[in-house]
């Protein structure tokens, strides 16, 4: 029973966390529209690999981080630096997504997979997110840190993440013409990372 509870907590927490348009789900959608479903699914698998690691780290250090709030401060500052760099990348360095992709260009499956790993690794928010979720629900008796069932939460997290990425991939494939967003999606992603940076700055300022 505890394993089932942990699985549903992991699934729902990840699924709900990816509902708002964000860096990973919108990137998966962009790849799905521009390159097809298969590359988008390969990208999603790369994302899931890192999600499992991040979920495990968040759960492993949940109680320690709860007792040492300075760790949260460090994570927030590191996250701020990462998202500021991503914002600069999407607004200045990234190519316009409205540009047509040359026909006949072969796309490496390995590159899509590694891109998923890289982009998911840059997003450090799941670690403090899982610290908060696990500790809060554990206090209510709705989550269990038992080593025998903790893996079910990680499995649930991976499944929930993949489910929401699938929704984004298939939704955009049905709603938008192939290879035509009509706007530069990188600006949208840059706006998201910029907003996250602003929120992080506010939180750091409030804790000072």
pLDDT, tens only, 114-138: 999 998 988 777 887 888 788 778 8
Cα-only R_g, the chain? 18
Question: Is a pLDDT exceeding 60 seen at residue 182?
Answer: no
The mean pLDDT of 181-188, rounded to a whole number, is 60
CA–CA dist 187, 109 (Å, integer): 26
Of the candidates 171, 195, 197, 204, the residue with the CA atom closest to the CA atom of residue 80: 197
Structure tokens at 67: 């007792």
The whole-chain average pLDDT of the chain stands at 79
pLDDT over 70, % of the chain: 75
* DSSP summary character for residue 205: H
Question: Is a pLDDT exceeding 90 seen at residue 141?
Answer: no
The helix/strand/coil state of 20 is coil
Question: Is a pLDDT exceeding 50 seen at residue 79?
Answer: yes
Report pLDDT for 132: 76
Structure tokens at 5: 């509870």
Q: Dihedral, CA atoms, 116, 120, 121, 125, nearest 10 degrees?
A: 180
pTM recorded for the entire structure:
0.69
Q: Cα–Cα distances in Å, from 3 out to 63, 91, 149, 202? A: 20, 44, 5, 37
CA–CA dist 163, 152 (Å, integer): 16
Structure tokens at 165: 């990425």
Highest mean pLDDT among 61-65, 91-95, 131-135, 180-184: 131-135
The residue behind tokens 């907003």 is 195
Q: Cα–Cα distances in Å, from 179 out to 83, 167, 176? A: 27, 18, 8
């Amino acid at each position: 029973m505890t394993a089932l509870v942990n699985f549903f907590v992991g699934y729902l927490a990840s699924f709900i966390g990816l509902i708002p348009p964000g860096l990973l789900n919108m990137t998966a959608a962009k790849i799905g529209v521009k390159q097809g479903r298969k590359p988008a699914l390969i990208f999603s698998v790369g994302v899931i690999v890192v999600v499992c690691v991040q979920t495990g780290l968040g759960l492993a250090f949940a109680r320690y981080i709860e007792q040492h709030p300075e760790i949260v401060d460090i994570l927030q500052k590191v996250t701020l630096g990462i998202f500021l760099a991503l914002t600069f990348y999407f607004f200045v360095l990234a190519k316009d997504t409205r540009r047509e992709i040359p026909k006949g260009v072969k796309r490496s499956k390995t590159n899509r997979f590694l891109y998923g790993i890289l982009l998911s690794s840059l997003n450090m928010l799941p670690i403090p997110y899982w610290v908060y979720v696990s500790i809060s629900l554990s206090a209510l008796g709705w989550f269990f840190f038992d080593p025998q069932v903790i893996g079910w939460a990680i499995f649930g997290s991976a499944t929930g993440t993949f489910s929401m990425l699938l929704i984004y991939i298939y939704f955009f494939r049905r709603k938008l013409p192939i290879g035509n967003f009509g706007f530069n999606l990188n600006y949208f992603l840059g706006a998201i990372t910029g907003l996250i940076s602003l929120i992080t700055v506010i939180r750091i300022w409030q804790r000072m």
